[in-house]
Amino acid sequence: MNIILLGAPGAGKGTQAVRISEKYKIPHISTGDIFRKNIKEGTPVGLKAKAYIDKGQLVPDEVVVEIVENRLKEKDCKNGYLLDGFPRTLAQAEALSKITDIDAVINLDIDLKLLADRLTGRRICRDCGESYHISSFSGSECTKCGGEIYQRDDDNIETVNSRLTVYENQTKPLIEYYSSKNVLKNIDGGQDIDKVFEDIVKTL
């Protein structure tokens, strides 16, 4: 099954992706994670992406499309995959449609007003990618794998506001795009994490 997870910054894409990927045994491909890994390793792609990510803007389409195209050619994608954070523009969606077929687009629908708090309070495991929130978690080690907990550089309020504006202008039109292709599944992303996952499993 080839799946896209669509949703605003902080809608819960990463949180649900870890669970979907485990249940359906398909690789979780997050373009944001790929960029953060490249930034950490100081690669040319990482250096280029950092300038955009720090400002909460999108990395240019051609850079992202090439990365995803290469990633989808890897062996582990042959029985399906889960895209998290890609596509994010109509141009990316058009490019993707020339590379592969998509079975389902899960849109995590949520009131944007809730997201600044979710994002500025988010903490993440460096090893397994599990997301936590400071309202319910204050540890320095991941409860799932023992990995180190960190805060993303782009989870400060200025960058978050700019990411939300970029979402409204550039990514939200994809809801209509995939709806017109009859593959869109709307899920209420404002429910608790387990309920969101339950609804995703039902719809898949």
Residues in touch with ligand AP5 (CB under 6 A): 7, 9-15, 30-32, 35, 52-53, 56-59, 64, 85-86, 88, 92, 118-119, 122, 131-133, 163, 192-193, 196
| CB 46, CB 34: distance < 8 Å | no
| Binding site partner of 38, from Mg ion, ligand AP5, none, Cβ cut-off 5-8 A by kind | none
Nearest distance in Å: CB 180, Mg ion: 26
**14 vs 56 by CB, closer to Mg ion:** 14
| Binding site partner of 196, from Mg ion, ligand AP5, none, Cβ cut-off 5-8 A by kind | ligand AP5
Q: What SS3 string covers 89-157?
A: CHHHHHHHHHHCCCCEEEEEECCHHHHHHHHHCEEEECCCCCEEECCCCCCCECCCCCCEEECCCCCCH
Catalytic residue, candidates 36, 88, 118, 123: 88
Query: Counting contacts by CB under 5 A, is residue 56 touching Mg ion?
Result: no
What's the burial of 52, exposed, middle or buried (CB within 10 Å: 0-12/13-18/19+)? middle
* Subset of residues 142 to 171 that bind Mg ion, contact rule: CB under 5 A: none
Instruction: Name the one residue in this structure whose structure tokens are 């009859």.
Output: 182
122 labelled catalytic: yes
Instruction: Name the one residue in this structure whose structure tokens are 């109509």.
Output: 90
Contacts of 99 (CB under 8 A, 6+ apart): 68, 69, 72
126 labelled catalytic: no
Query: Counting contacts by CB under 5 A, is residue 14 touching Mg ion?
Result: yes
| CB 88, CB 170: distance < 8 Å | yes
**Residue 1 token pair:** 């099954």
* Alpha carbon separation from 174 to 121, 171, 193 (Å, rounded): 27, 6, 24
Structural element, H or E, at residue 186: strand 184-188
**79 vs 165 by CB, closer to ligand AP5:** 165
| Binding site partner of 110, from Mg ion, ligand AP5, none, Cβ cut-off 5-8 A by kind | none
163 labelled catalytic: yes
| Binding site partner of 131, from ligand AP5, Mg ion, none, Cβ cut-off 5-8 A by kind | ligand AP5
152 labelled catalytic: yes
**14 vs 189 by CB, closer to Mg ion:** 14
23 labelled catalytic: no
Q: Which residues are catalytic?
A: 13, 88, 122, 152, 163
